[in-house]
A and B are shown apart, each in its own frame.
Chain A
Amino acid sequence: TQLLEQSPQFLSIQEGENLTVYCNSSSVFSSLQWYRQEPGEGPVLLVTVVTGGEVKKLKRLTFQFGDARKDSSLHITAAQPGDTGLYLCAGVVSGTYKYIFGTGTRLKVLA
């Protein structure tokens, strides 16, 4: 069974601070995605990483895929209240189109 563990589970920070969220597994994934979910809505894709060691930037968000394609991180620089939400990583099981979601990190950014 493929599992994706995220840490931390909860994070409450002040506006302007930096933070990093981790997504770890013992399984190899063909690709890894990060989604953000707001209350009452479904998750929305932020980014997809495919190659081991790949780094992608989306404004103040930086995503990295581990060299062995088993883990990933999301770094937010100068967090803003609009970044508040549930962040989910999702791995695509190799050889399938099965998307496994991580346990989630609930972020709250205080003004």
Chain B
Amino acid sequence: DAGVIQSPRHEVTEMGQEVTLRCKPISGHDYLFWYRQTMMRGLELLIYFNNNVPIDDSGMPEDRFSAKMPNASFSTLKIQPSEPRDSAVYFCASRPLGTKDTGELFFGEGSRLTVL
């Protein structure tokens, strides 16, 4: 079975440009999470969805960040305009239906973003 698929794997852009990261969760999973990982701050939760509806976006850094989940098989995380401090690895994870609060998170391989 295919795991969580993220694209692009690597993105290098210049400050001020728009960046869109994409995620395809595992089929049948009803929760989707976006995390950001840096050496300084570790793995931070940005936002999570349940059945395509955003449940908690309190981790989204500021208005420059937005996330959508138009259907059960696709989500995007957009940064506009991007800044050098946004440089990080962004992970998407999904969680199987019906596993309550012990469910395993399945992570993608991440999107490494560098903003110059």
Residues of A within 8 A of B (CB): 30-31, 33, 35, 40-45, 48, 50, 88, 90, 92, 94, 96-104
Q: Would you call A43 and B105 a contact (CB within 8 A)? A: yes
Residues of the B chain whose Cβ atoms lie less than 8 Å from the Cβ of A88: 42-43
Q: Would you call B101 and A43 a contact (CB within 8 A)? A: no
**Once A and B bind, how many residue pairs between them come within 8 Å at the CB atom?**
60
Q: Would you call B43 and A43 a contact (CB within 8 A)? A: yes
Interface size on B, residues (CB 8 A): 24
Residues of the B chain whose Cβ atoms lie less than 8 Å from the Cβ of A35: 105
For the complex formed, measure the closest distance between the CB of B91 and the CB atoms of chain A, giving whole angstroms: 5
Q: Would you call A102 and B42 a contact (CB within 8 A)? A: yes
Residues of the A chain whose Cβ atoms lie less than 8 Å from the Cβ of B103: 97
Residues of B within 8 A of A (CB): 4, 31, 33, 35, 42-45, 48, 50, 55-56, 91, 93, 95, 101-105, 107-110
Which of A48, A94, A103, A104 is in CB contact (< 8 Å) with B104?
A48
Bound-state CA distance A109–B91 (Å) is 26
Residues of the B chain whose Cβ atoms lie less than 8 Å from the Cβ of A48: 102, 104
